[in-house]
Structure 1
């Protein structure tokens, strides 16, 4: 019988399936962005710095991975590169879907809120009546990116690769779906519809210029969150609570912070209640898909008898792993 060295059974692509899947997703999304932007004659500036940052971070990951010096620094480099690429391609995608210029649905969303007994105006005025509480909500709302970055570093430091995979995959899947939905069912925001807090609508000029076709270019470092339904802040708040679910003290801290973020979404994000409900459904579906992907990857590997590294079971007739 044909004997092969044990190293041939080490499935590096399978071992890295989540990273490879997201890398391919980012590349595909980037291609869609490039073609779509060219088609509608829309330019985005500052991408060279993003690509440079991604390359540097990826090289850090490769260096510490291949040298074996630090699994922690390797993961930090890899995941930071993926988050950088994902953030850039995804925000561009939200701008492109906004250019579809489908009819606005603010009136429908406000009406659905009213039918559920959610009085946005009354609650907004009540929150604004307590400036310190309003500021606290604003701080919680703005903490989203910091929480994601710190969580990525924390999981890499603890060598909790599965948690980093969950965090990245759910965020990626949900933002792609969010971008598509927000393009097909667009809305400006509750601030604009109710004419309250309009000064917080920093995204308004970008969104309206995309819709009326007057936008020519945007700088990547000045782009805004222009999505209304589903609320991506809601997705991330639920996601952060989810990935810390089996921790103790860190879970309590994350839970408290993200409950505040959820409370802030209508008033500091200008969202309708239906935006949050849609986001909750999207989060659950994204989490289910991610759980299936990760479990499928785990089933595709067979533990080494020594318990040191994942091995691929022989699948070619006549091939056997040599006895140790």
Structure 2
């Protein structure tokens, strides 16, 4: 028998739902999915799950098995979520960016003026680009550190928070799409040159084309981030800092992610309210996840136990990316 924690099972169920919805929508809309381009990602995830399952069956190195399973979850969900996000694009539809720009103005924020001011910071402006690019590295580092240090509760909360926040952000974006202020404000060539933005004019042109023409083909190598509101970069920064509490890397991450805020605004091409929306989304989901995953990590058990975030649920099989826990009533 293989065993899986409930936080992993919930994440696996969401992976199945998101991936299934993406496949159905692609077929319904006549969008070609290049499955071959995604194959390496799924093979890596399958290998991670296989190793994690082997460790659990042998009853050895629980830290390694949790870490490997968490890595697999993020690989699988990132791919499925990105594809579903693309399929939510409706060509020619209006975005809520004008509304978000007005909301920024109400609180005294002007994206173009802010970007121009940051561009005058010299090397610091370019350094913010590297800060912006560090989000995925931080995410991977957090999984490794929490997993290998045996911080089971923090790791499972981290994983489940990331998956749920991504689901909610895709849902919000599908109802009220936004691409950021860079589609509506043009920076001077001098400012662009000094900034070297990650979401540069070429990236912006890709967003415009997607908004105008929609999507006909999706492959793993051409996916780009689409969501402006709520900002998932903000969610990831908040996740890294919050779940690094009581670890040696808390203060370095806290300082780094203070710099992430202007990096998100400038290099990510975000409205200020995108950042505020990301913080609000994280706070709500993290609060709920803290109640789903208990405070005390429980040792693996061979018997089916009451379903809770930290307990293991015995399952008959485990097939990537589908987790199939038995139905267990709550006490």
Output the CA distance in 1 between the equivalents of 2:70 and 2:132.
23
Output the CA distance in 2 between the equivalents of 1:56 and 1:237.
28
1:143 match:
134
1:82 match:
73
Shift of 1:101: 5.2
Output the CA distance in 1 between the equivalents of 2:250 and 2:116.
32
2:318 match:
none
1:242 match:
242
2:320 match:
none
Q: Is the 8 A contact 2:2 2:57 kept in 1?
A: no
Q: Is the 8 A contact 2:183 2:208 kept in 1?
A: no
2:51 match:
60
1:301-321 deviation line (CA, Å, top 9, x unaligned): 9x8xxx8859747xxxxxxxx
Task: Choose 81-90 or 96-105, whichever is displaced more.
Answer: 96-105
Shift of 1:29: 0.8
Q: Helix, strand or coil: the match of 2:88?
A: helix
2:145 match:
154
1:276 match:
275
Q: Is the 8 A contact 2:81 2:167 kept in 1?
A: yes
Residue from 18, 39, 60 that aligns with 2:7:
18
2:232 match:
232
Q: Is the 8 A contact 2:182 2:204 kept in 1?
A: no
Residue from 21, 25, 46 that aligns with 1:36:
25
Structure 1: gaps spanning 5 or more residues: 1-10, 314-324
TM-score by length of 2: 0.82
Q: Is the 8 A contact 1:58 1:81 kept in 2?
A: yes
Shift of 1:52: 1.3
Output the CA distance in 1 between the equivalents of 2:6 and 2:201.
39
1:54-83 deviation line (CA, Å, top 9, x unaligned): 111111111122123322322222111111
Output the CA distance in 1 between the equivalents of 2:65 and 2:290.
24
Output the CA distance in 1 between the equivalents of 2:220 and 2:80.
10
Output the CA distance in 1 between the equivalents of 2:98 and 2:214.
25
Output the CA distance in 2 between the equivalents of 1:12 and 1:57.
14
> Where do 1:39-50 residues align within 5 Å?
39-45=28-34, 46-50=37-41
Output the CA distance in 2 between the equivalents of 1:219 and 1:133.
35
Shift of 1:256: 0.6
Output the CA distance in 1 between the equivalents of 2:91 and 2:238.
29
**Count of equivalent residues:** 294
Q: Is the 8 A contact 1:203 1:226 kept in 2?
A: no
Change beyond 3 A, Cα 1:180–1:188: same
1:169 match:
160
Q: Is the 8 A contact 2:233 2:264 kept in 1?
A: yes
Shift of 1:222: 2.3
C-alpha RMSD of matched pairs (Å): 2.5
TM-score by length of 1: 0.83
Q: Is the 8 A contact 1:102 1:185 kept in 2?
A: no
2:221 match:
221
Output the CA distance in 2 between the equivalents of 1:308 and 1:279.
34
Change beyond 3 A, Cα 1:219–1:24: same
Structure 2: gaps spanning 5 or more residues: 307-331
Task: Choose 161-170 or 69-78, whichever is displaced more.
Answer: 69-78
